[in-house]
Chains A and B, each alone.
Chain A
Amino acid sequence: MSVVGDTLSMLDAAERVSGRINYVLNFELPGMLVGKILRSPFPHARLITIDASRAAGVEGVAAVLTRDDFGAAKPSSGKYGRIFRDQTVVAFEKVRFVGDPVAAVAAANEDIAEEALSLIKTEYEEIAPVFNEEEALKHAAPLVHDPRPEQQPMFGQLIQDLPGGSNVCSHFKLRRGDVEQGFREADLVFEDVFHSPAAQHVPLEPHVTVAQYFQSKLTIWTSTQMPHAIRSQMAELFSLPLARVRVIVETLGGGFGSKGSLRLEPITSFLSLKSNRPVKITLKREEEFVTVCKHPATIRMKTGVTKDGLLVARQVSADFNTGAYSDIGPIVARNGGSAMSGPYRIPHVLIDSRAVWTNVVPAGALRGFGVPQAVWAYESQMDMIAERLGLDPVEFRRKNLLRDGDLFATGEKLEGMHYDELLDRAAASVNWTARDARWREQVANKKGPLCRGKGLALVIKATITPSTSAAVLKLNEDGSLNVLTSSVELGQGAKTVLAQIAAQAMQVPFASVSVSDPDTDLTPYDQQTSSSRTTFSMGGAIGKAAEDLRQQLLEKAAELLEASANDLVLAQGRVEARGSPRRSLSYGEIVLRSSQGNIVGRGAFTTRGGLDLETGQGIGSVHWHQGAIGCEVEVDAETGKVRVLHLTPSVFAGRVVNPRLCELQLEGSAIFGFGQALFEEMVYDEHGQVMNQNLGDYNVPSFDDIPWKLSPWALEHQTSDELHGIGETLLPPVMAAIGNAVYNAVGARIRDLPISAERVLRELARA
């Protein structure tokens, strides 16, 4: 019986097409209030006074939350933050970006809440702000956090604490070989600077949280990818045992990394505590824009090569702008930093990758987690170097590809490398030939404004390591199976894929498997639904739980059938004696006759690893996500407009569990990268205000924009049981592939994303 490998419809497909799928957005409780947030109009200012007395007096207002509700004399400090405690539930002494929450109200309805917000009196004293990551690092730059916020002890092994007095939030270091020696050995050294801007996740479902504090128990229904991390942080804020904080997640309307760290949970929960009523906050789209974004990053990349095209040394200085609050920024800078050598053998590598505090919207995880910024730099530079060496960029890459047995920049030995196949696929997808590498000569020969060009890019990406997932399988008296898991369904099809894995492992029909939604009171621990880890990690946990359950079934069946467990086998929902299938019992019969009600299997899946704080050496990833993009573009040399004609995202997928859901992930990643390549950028004015905080001014790819031909390809090893996550891998290389194709078309090298028509024209004018 095979279920893994089949294209099955999503378990809840009928609910999804009939409008009945239950997002947290729909959730209501009796007596529920509406919460609204007052936000800072200044990028950096001292909050001199805040007076909410008039707001509190409005009829229908049940609670107003300000800094007066927190502090040493109050039950809660109001301070939180996953890595650094640099955030407060509402502003205390300072506001640090335009949109920073200053106060909040809970009221009978939205209109009353809005009126109450307008009655909160505030007085600010502006402080010089700093917006740009490079400006923020200058001596005498205004300090966003002073004194330096306290570090959460559990992150001490991942992120080195630093002295105060600067805007450097974190500093990841990687030291391999002797980079100076490497540059001396190199024939040529290239140095370039690349920039990625802030971008939005834009899950169509906004952040939404319902909180109820009642009888010393806090229950939160929230749009999060990390129910257990939310539980532990809220337990700390409320000084409650973990068991008295319950986090429940319904299906999400997209996440893409935005729904990870604490967002609305603290404000909503404290409003509930204060009003003694359930409270719901739903963000408006313009508020989404000031809640979390992709890290802007400036990356200086210096690469030494030999004349015949061997990479010898690379030095990188990367600054990730983490905005006003660090969120998960230090880990993004670390993950992006450790990826800077790309899928290439480079003996001497030195990387400094910082997260930097500034007075803009806090940046957090976004699909790819720092790697999109890294690939934009290193794959753009690979083509630039190839041209300057007079080499074919495909062959230049091939000379340097990581292969089995090679060491990565982190010093770990790599196995299961598939870059030769992926590079071949990307090149073949655009019919790349040696003629295509004749750069400027080719450009000069083009006639008319419409020029076509080809480009490709590769990616190597870690999955979060170490990590832990746990699963419970509950076998019922009719032989059906409940999978208890805290993996979050955010549209990627996690529930369906996990059901397929469970059905196969237990040899039961797919239709008899049900997968839970996360509920921290009921479902076992999972670190997070992110980092392309669910299929691999939760799938692994389900595999282990199935082993446990099978063993128990065999032992019970052995008693009942008076046989040795070794002589029994599981097949299609039954345990039978090897060779005599008529001596058999259905799972349901075994459960009934075991007098236990259910038979429950448990499993946990843990990976180990970590990088040294001084050298970045160690185990960066339990296995590596590998991908390639090939694309062809048409550039209008008169208008600068870029059209992507054809995009081929290719990924190493190990064994594919559900081919159609896999394709959707590959296409979705590619389209997400396409938007970031060509037009997605949060634009700030000189006062730190986001200028395009709506979907009219900030465009995401529509049907009209996307490439006409999108041909995803998953490299499968069907003989192996190895599962690879594929949810993010193909976003990061899209931007560089398109950038390289634009250069190939018209000779305009774009170093700052997005590749807008204006930038293309500017470069053409310069060329």
Chain B
Amino acid sequence: MKQIVKFKVNGMEEEKAVHTHHTLLEVLRAEFKLFGAREGCGIGMCGACTVLLDGRPTSSCLLLAPLAEGKEILTIEGLAEHGELHPIQQAFIDHNAFQCAYCTSGFILSTKSLLAENPAPTPEQIRAYLAGNLCRCGSYVKIQEAVLDAAARIGHLAENPAARK
């Protein structure tokens, strides 16, 4: 059975006819051709399919697509503004906080949510918050460095709006 759903993805509203039993992840990949969210486990354990739903990290593999109606969906593709990488993305590059990068979209979006809740997290808080995102390549040490650095960069930008290009 199909249903017309009005999605708002990365700031753009678009209607799609979707199967009611399909997940948001399936729709993002098949209909929107957004490939940054990826299935790793299919049961919400690995975090590779994380998107932000009204700012909150959500496993898009578990959410039926029609239930996303009326919510602001942010995927990794929507994070860069005006072609400029987000400071979290830049920090991940500068610390090489990834290997295969299959998990990276999820880590970056979870980090965005973490820093929105807690602009200056401690290493312990970072570990606890990001425990739902798995990196099988084991880049955790660098991810932690990148998140600490990203927090500092965003804090700096907040205090010095002029530093923003």
Contacts and interface: CB of A to CB of B under 8 A. Distances in A.
A467 interface: no
Contact of A17 (B43, B101, B138): B101
Residue from the set B19, B42, B77, B90 with the largest chain A CB neighbour count within 10 Å: B42
B142 A664 contact: yes
Contact of B127 (A492, A672, A703, A710): A703
A17 B92 contact: yes
10 contacts: A16-B101, A16-B104, A20-B77, A254-B99, A256-B136, A491-B137, A695-B134, A700-B134, A702-B132, A703-B140
In the complex, the 5 A-B pairs of residues with the closest C-beta atoms, listed nearest first: A19-B36, A491-B100, A253-B102, A671-B138, A491-B99
A41 interface: no
Interface string A199-234: 000111110000000000000000000000000000
A377 B131 CA distance: 32
Interface of B: 19, 34-43, 45-46, 48, 75-77, 79-80, 85, 89-90, 92-94, 96, 98-105, 108, 126-128, 130-134, 136-144
A400 B127 CA distance: 41
B138 A19 contact: no
A203 B136 CA distance: 6
Given A25-B38, A661-B96, A17 B136 contact: no
B140 A706 contact: yes
Nearest to A704: B131
A738 interface: no
Interface stretch (A6-14, A511-519, A532-540): A6-14
Given A18-B76, A18-B89, A19-B77, A205 B99 contact: no
Given A204-B134, A490-B100, A671-B140, 13 more contacts: A9-B94, A13-B93, A16-B93, A17-B89, A17-B104, A18-B79, A21-B101, A23-B35, A205-B102, A668-B137, A696-B41, A696-B43, A701-B138
A300 interface: no
A703 B47 CA distance: 12
Contacts of A700: 134, 136
B96 A9 contact: yes
Nearest to A696: B45
Interface string A105-120: 0000001000000000
A759 interface: no
A25 B37 CA distance: 11
Contacts of A493: 99
A694 interface: yes
B102 A23 contact: yes
Contacts of A111: 19
B88 to A, nearest CB: 8
A284 B41 CA distance: 8
A23 B36 CA distance: 10
A660 interface: yes
Interface string A491-504: 11100000000000
A556 interface: no
A105 B104 CA distance: 33
Contacts of B100: 203-205, 251-254, 490-491
A339 B133 CA distance: 36
A632 interface: no
B130 A703 contact: yes
Given A19-B36, A667-B141, A702 B102 contact: no
A668 B138 CA distance: 4
Interface string A700-740: 11111010001000000000000000000000000000000
